[in-house]
């Protein structure tokens, strides 16, 4: 039995928006006006607004042959919420624009929105607007996330100071290994459509790439412990690239240690299987959406008790000098690889 397929054209734009937002809930008291007008209205009470916007383009940022639409909806919200967290702000609202071709049915969009709403619930944000339109080809997503922060408490990439500790959350490199696994399964499937994928014991890596989480829990923990990071960024393009952003903007250098980079055991296994160096994945892999931040040394008394935060090195007063010390004790300059979508 095939799933029902309702052509988008049967609803039209207004019908489609109404249909997709019919279960939209309001969680934030500051939401004065939501979806359904030319704009949304947000109230303020002496707080500052942080805002960020990002696109996810089919064929560049995701491959629908192995990305469930529900996960894609969740991820679209999570990666934007992650940017708000990376400013040390609390996410409050999102606007969602999608442009989709006629290849997608109403049911497909519903599935996508299910993921969106699931993420809104998880991060306690209100979906307050956006645009739904058609595209000649593919699924294009643009999300704007809004957050609030107490006056002057936002954290940029600019404030890292010599001797600050460099911290990362969670574990790194798993998203890249998840992507590598999925790309391999896709290739096998295209060549041998009868072979079933075996990804059962790879849930961590697959989960990191398909359904990443924003580290709002860390922002809340830092607030609770009274720790004010001196600089912060989310790790979307690999640790190395993000360290370059922080060091460049803060006009400092850094030393990190290979044996301090946090890895998940499953990620190590997959990396071993593919004969890829786990450290290279962490440095250049991307899409981890963990947080990278710097704190004064005094914060260590709290940080050391967190299982979610690893100290990977420290900031130096040598601008332009970014180094990693390997397990064998050799010191190498870091290279910024990062985002290469335009490069081939």
* Binder of its own copies out of 19, 20, 21, 42 (CB under 8 A): 42
- Rank residues 278 and 285 by Cβ distance to its own copies and give the closer one: 285
Contact predicate 284/222, CB 8 Å: no
Q: Can you tell me the distance from the alpha carbon of 91 to that of 83, in angstroms, rounded to the nearest whole number?
A: 9
323 binds its own copies (CB under 8 A): no
Contact predicate 289/238, CB 8 Å: no
- Rank residues 296 and 338 by Cβ distance to its own copies and give the closer one: 338
Provide the H-helix boundaries in 125-173.
Answer: none
* Binder of its own copies out of 11, 64, 199, 228 (CB under 8 A): 11
CA distances from 124 to 25, 77, 118, 137 (A): 10, 11, 10, 33
52 binds its own copies (CB under 8 A): yes
* Binder of its own copies out of 6, 24, 27, 54 (CB under 8 A): 54
59 binds its own copies (CB under 8 A): yes
- Rank residues 47 and 260 by Cβ distance to its own copies and give the closer one: 47
Provide the minimum distance between the beta carbon of 219 and its own copies in the complex, in angstroms, as a whole number. Answer: 12
User: Residue 23 pairs with which residues in a beta bridge?
Assistant: none
44 binds its own copies (CB under 8 A): yes
DSSP 176: H
Q: Which residues contact 265 (CB under 8 A, 6 or more apart)?
A: none
Contact predicate 230/160, CB 8 Å: yes
* Binder of its own copies out of 5, 25, 26, 55 (CB under 8 A): 55
* Binder of its own copies out of 19, 20, 58, 167 (CB under 8 A): 58
Provide the minimum distance between the beta carbon of 144 and its own copies in the complex, in angstroms, as a whole number. Answer: 4
Token pair for 68:
């469930």
What DSSP letter does each residue of 106-138 carry, written as one string?
A: HHHHHHHHHHHHHHHHHHT-EEEE--EEE-SSS
- Rank residues 101 and 325 by Cβ distance to its own copies and give the closer one: 101
**C-alpha R_g of the chain:** 21
- Rank residues 8 and 227 by Cβ distance to its own copies and give the closer one: 8
Site for its own copies in 90-149 (CB under 8 A): 93, 95, 97-99, 102, 128-131, 133-138, 140, 142, 144-147, 149
Contact predicate 120/77, CB 8 Å: yes
Place of tokens 């490199």: 173
Q: Which stretch binds its own copies (CB under 8 A): 150-158, 173-181, 250-258, 305-313?
A: 150-158
Place of tokens 């934030």: 28
Helix 106-123 × helix 69-85 angle, to 10°: 30
- Rank residues 87 and 209 by Cβ distance to its own copies and give the closer one: 87
What does the per-residue mask of binding to its own copies show for 236-265, with x meaning CB under 8 A?
-------------x----------------
- Rank residues 84 and 256 by Cβ distance to its own copies and give the closer one: 84
Q: Shortest CA distance to 96 belongs to which of 26, 33, 149, 20? A: 20
Site for its own copies in 178-217 (CB under 8 A): none
Site for its own copies in 74-93 (CB under 8 A): 83-84, 86-87, 89, 93
Provide the minimum distance between the beta carbon of 339 and its own copies in the complex, in angstroms, as a whole number. Answer: 5
């Amino acid at each position: 039995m095939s799933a029902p397929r309702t052509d988008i054209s049967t609803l039209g734009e207004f019908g489609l928006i109404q249909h997709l937002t019919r279960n939209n809930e309001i969680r934030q008291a500051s939401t004065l006006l939501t979806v359904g007008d030319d704009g949304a209205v947000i109230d303020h009470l002496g707080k500052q607004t942080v805002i960020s916007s990002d696109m996810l383009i089919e064929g560049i940022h995701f491959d629908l042959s192995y990305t469930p639409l529900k996960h894609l909806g969740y991820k679209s919200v999570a990666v934007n919420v992650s940017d708000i967290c990376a400013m040390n702000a609390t996410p409050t609202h999102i606007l969602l624009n999608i442009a989709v071709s006629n290849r997608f049915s109403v049911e497909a969009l519903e599935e996508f929105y299910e993921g969106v709403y699931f993420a809104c619930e998880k991060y306690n944000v209100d979906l307050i607007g956006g645009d739904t339109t058609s595209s000649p080809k593919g699924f294009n997503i643009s999300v704007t996330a809004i957050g609030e922060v107490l006056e002057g408490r936002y954290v940029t990439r600019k404030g890292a100071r010599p001797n600050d500790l460099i911290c990362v959350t969670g574990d790194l490199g798993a998203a890249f290994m998840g992507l590598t696994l999925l790309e391999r399964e896709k290739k096998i499937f295209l060549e041998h459509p009868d072979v079933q994928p075996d990804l059962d014991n790879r849930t961590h890596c697959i989960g990191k790439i398909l359904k990443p989480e924003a580290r709002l829990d860390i922002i809340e923990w830092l607030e609770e412990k009274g720790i004010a990071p001196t600089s912060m960024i989310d790790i979307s393009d690999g640790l190395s690239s993000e360290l370059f952003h922080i060091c460049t903007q803060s006009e400092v250098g850094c030393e990190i240690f290979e044996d301090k980079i946090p890895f998940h055991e499953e990620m190590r296994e997959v990396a071993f299987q593919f004969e890829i160096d786990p450290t290279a994945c962490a440095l250049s892999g991307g899409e981890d959406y963990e947080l990278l931040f710097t704190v004064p040394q005094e914060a260590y008394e709290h940080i050391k008790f967190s299982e979610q935060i690893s100290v990977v090195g420290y900031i130096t007063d040598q601008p332009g000098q970014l180094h990693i010390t390997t397990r064998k004790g050799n010191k190498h300059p870091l290279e910024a690889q990062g985002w290469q979508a335009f490069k081939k």
